Amino acid sequence: MSKIIGKALPNMPWQDKPEGEKMPVWRYTENPIIGRHATKRSNSVFNSAVVPFGDGYAGIFRCDSRSISMDIFPGFSKDGIHWDISDTPVQFEGADPEILKREYRYDPRVCFIEDRYYITWCNGYHGPTIGVAYTYDFKKFVQLENAFLPYNRNGVLFPRKIGDYYMMMSRPSDTGHTPFGDIYVSQTKDFEFWGRHRYMMGAVKGDASAWQSTKIGPGPIPIETDEGWLLIYHGVITTCNGYVYRVGCALLDLDEPWKVKERSSDYILAPYEPYECNGDVPNVTFPCATLADADTGRIAMYYGCADTVTGLAFTTVDELITYMKENPLK
């Protein structure tokens, strides 16, 4: 049995694995949990992040408007399933007006570190880069310096200092629908200057694991376990009809998380259901957050479906680690 290192979360959303289910991840029976029109002006609500907050949950949601502009919006929930999302995007304050200028914001992640919730997202600054901010209450948001030069996407923090550094994964990219992409780890002492960049892992060439042959990118905040950091990530293949986004998992060294201990050759979640295959961008499953219960090893995963709605799925730390060991990427 593998153990999650962290807090108990007995009231997290959960459904048991259905009898006869062959996959290590199973969907919430009432999916999708958030529809297109969750806010007044939204065209789509997807690729969003949630965390335990008070006696319930808070989140930062990607809501593209009906003019198809991308921004991030705070939301709250008692049960992690029914969400009340603000009609007004996050308003940032911060030290430098240059950094506060908004071009576009998308694909947020939220990470509790020490005393506050850090938000990272893909932030337009003459091309996509990683925006960084923090909040204590999901009402007041302080924006810090962008972590990197453009072009970069999928900035995902580790939930504690590792040795002397805070660490963030990211995926250097281009200005468009990037046809390449590997995951790197960068380090900081102060959330302003990032360096000590390390290569973690890349897209898989050849046919050993073709679902992740075009590009990969980190998904939710990694989960600390006694065997390593459990990373859930997305992988992309280029088909005759365009990109298909599936989900995989890996186990990273606890002290040097750019060292990959295990990685599955087989995906754990893929677009199967109509709401994952049909929408504004067909065939996309894109996880950005998990909730985890250290007492039971349960994991609830939030993922964008076809760039249109938000789904919820379940697994456990044992399911994922056993699956990786049974289907290793060689």
Chain contacts with ligand BMA (rule: CB under 6 A): 47, 106-107, 177, 245, 281, 284, 286, 304, 307
Based on CB atoms, which residue is closest to ligand BMA, 188 or 214?
Answer: 214
Based on CB atoms, which residue is closest to ligand BMA, 153 or 298?
Answer: 153
Neighbours of 294 (CB within 10 A): 17
Cβ 187 to ligand BMA, closest distance in Å?
A: 25
Which positions ≥6 away from 2 have C-beta within 8 Å? 225, 226, 227, 297, 317, 318, 321
Cβ 306 to ligand BMA, closest distance in Å?
A: 9
The residue among 172, 171, 175 whose CA lies nearest residue 127 is: 175
The residue with its CB nearest to ligand BMA is: 281
Based on CB atoms, which residue is closest to ligand BMA, 4 or 312?
Answer: 312
Based on CB atoms, which residue is closest to ligand BMA, 293 or 307?
Answer: 307
Neighbours of 136 (CB within 10 A): 11
Residue type present at position 45: V
Cβ 111 to ligand BMA, closest distance in Å?
A: 18
Q: What is the dihedral of CA 61, 306, 221, 135, to 10 degrees?
A: -10
CB 143 within 8 A of CB 135: no
Cβ 307 to ligand BMA, closest distance in Å?
A: 5
Cβ 234 to ligand BMA, closest distance in Å?
A: 8
Q: What are the backbone dihedrals phi and psi of residue 57, each rounded to the nearest 5 degrees, phi first?
A: -140, 155
Cβ 284 to ligand BMA, closest distance in Å?
A: 5
The residue among 233, 299, 266 whose CA lies nearest residue 2 is: 299
Based on CB atoms, which residue is closest to ligand BMA, 273 or 318?
Answer: 273
Based on CB atoms, which residue is closest to ligand BMA, 70 or 324?
Answer: 70
CB 120 within 8 A of CB 147: yes
Query: What's the gap between Cα 216 and its chain centre?
Result: 12
CB 270 within 8 A of CB 202: no
The residue among 164, 185, 135, 157 whose CA lies nearest residue 288 is: 157
For residue 275, the SS3 value is helix
Based on CB atoms, which residue is closest to ligand BMA, 47 or 264?
Answer: 47
Cβ 96 to ligand BMA, closest distance in Å?
A: 26
